[in-house]
Structure 1
Amino acid sequence: MQESRLRWYGHIRRRPPDYDSNLALHLSLPSHRSRGRPKTRWKDVVLNDMSEC
């Protein structure tokens, strides 16, 4: 699973910066923070996978 996530991340990063998939990767939505532990984002999981390699 880790390998497929990193492969997909590389595929998205190689696309031009104006593609929707690349824009969504860096999108930050303003919203209120709910109580408890923050939700795990896909970007955080990929960064964790890269640090383990």
Structure 2
Amino acid sequence: MPEIKGTVTEELVKQALYSEEVNRVLKAQVRKDFEAQIDAYVDEVLARMVG
């Protein structure tokens, strides 16, 4: 395993957070969370309409 040298700077953290892979994973999680919220809301509305 290679030895890690140096300091993690704020700029390196920003670069990592803005990477395409991180962005893809974050978008997927946001979509998943929104879908769950929408499903719960739709279920609630349908339950009110039916009964």
Over alpha carbons, which structure has the higher Rg?
A: 2
Between the two structures, name the one with larger relative contact order (CA 8 Å, sep ≥ 6). 1
The alignment's TM-score, normalised by the length of structure 1, stands at 0.30
The alignment's TM-score, normalised by the length of structure 2, stands at 0.31
Which is helix-richer, 1 or 2? Answer: 2
